[in-house]
Amino acid sequence: MVEEKKQTNMESDTPTEKSAETKKFLFHCTQCGWCCENRGPIPITFWDLEMWAKNGVLDNFIPYLKIFRTESGGFDLILAPLKFDPYKKYVEKQQELLKKQLEQTEQKESETESSEKEEEEEEENTTETDKVDQKEGDVDEKRCPLFNMEKRECLVYQFRPLSCRTYPLEFDGEGYNVVDEDNCEGIGQGPMTKEDLKEMRENAKRTYTEMKTMQISIPVLFNVIRQDSILRQQMQTEFWYEMYQEQLKAMESMDPEDKKKLDEILSRSRKKEMEEEEEEEKGETSS
């Protein structure tokens, strides 16, 4: 899945694989809304897209669909929370690079800087980063965009994604796992018929298979589209514009003092370039 969750192993499909540690899965949704508020990005499959298209509701979901690059380097199609930023880690890396560039430039301009001071700055930066990580994020960074907070209900329950239908039960290719066991109120609640359990297990397996298909398809489709010269040019233009926007965002998020120093360095750099151009022009005129 898109995020790591606390898991509890459940019964395997194969009777011989059962052990004393496995337990019966019992679940009945209480519609508490915890998963809708806290799951974060919801993985979307071709099964979902086809179901939405058949029911004429695909356009309602498109504004919230994004491509998300996983930590393992793969790709997922996701239903993204309103304030979810798939480039957050990229922006953070850009901020780190800008700070390093700033430190390197200052080191060249001032030979009095000692290694002890650099170590202290690194420790301070690490402490500040840890503090930022500990802060609670905005609720809209995790909340499903189609969950009504006031009424505490899903706006598209009839057309909810496959992974929502099987939650909190997941299949990992070998067996079943229960996620968010400490938070989901419906776990351990009844009634749950054999038919209900069978349907959830089938959906969990289908979700696993469909996600694998999507993860394979995204890079293949991307490469096929990239081979078209017109589309490739358009994609490159959009990519560099997007990169530029993220660079601006990274600079805006910098510490005001660091940003001020960086602006001064860039200003001196531009002034030096202008002076060199003037000298070149004078040399050409005199010759």
Residue 18's identity, in one-letter code, is K
SS3 state at 173 = coil
SS3 state at 215 = helix
Chain position carrying tokens 């802060």: 135
**Region 141-146 average pLDDT:** 87
Which pLDDT tens digit goes with each residue over 55-106?
999 998 999 998 888 777 788 999 988 877 665 665 666 667 667 767 777 6
**Region 15-28 average pLDDT:** 59
Which pLDDT tens digit goes with each residue over 114-137?
555 555 555 555 444 444 443 455
Q: Supply the mean pLDDT for the chain.
A: 75
For residue 212, name the pLDDT band (cuts at 50, 70, 90).
Answer: very high
Residue 42: φ, ψ to 5°: -100, 120
- Is residue 264 assigned to a domain? no
- Is residue 232 assigned to a domain? no
- Is residue 110 assigned to a domain? no
- Is residue 106 assigned to a domain? no
- Is residue 170 assigned to a domain? yes
Number of domains in the chain: 1
CA proximity to 207, closest of 238, 168, 234: 168
Q: Is this structure's pTM higher than 0.75?
A: no
**Region 161-176 average pLDDT:** 92
- Is residue 249 assigned to a domain? no
- Is residue 75 assigned to a domain? yes
- Is residue 43 assigned to a domain? yes
Taking the CA atoms of residue 54, residue 59, residue 61 and residue 66 in that order, the dihedral angle to the nearest 10 degrees is 110
Q: How far apart (Å, rounded) are the C-alpha atoms in residues 118 and 110?
A: 13
List of residues 6+ apart from 123 with CB closer than 8 A = none
Q: How far apart (Å, rounded) are the C-alpha atoms in residues 103 and 96?
A: 11
pLDDT given for residue 119 in this prediction: 54
Question: Residue 175: which domain range?
Answer: 7-83+138-218
Under a CB-based contact definition with an 8 Å cutoff, are residues 200 and 169 in contact?
yes
**H helices of 19-109, where?**
34-38, 46-54, 58-61, 88-109
Residue 284's identity, in one-letter code, is E
Under a CB-based contact definition with an 8 Å cutoff, are residues 82 and 145 in contact?
yes
Is the model more confident about 192 or about 272? 192
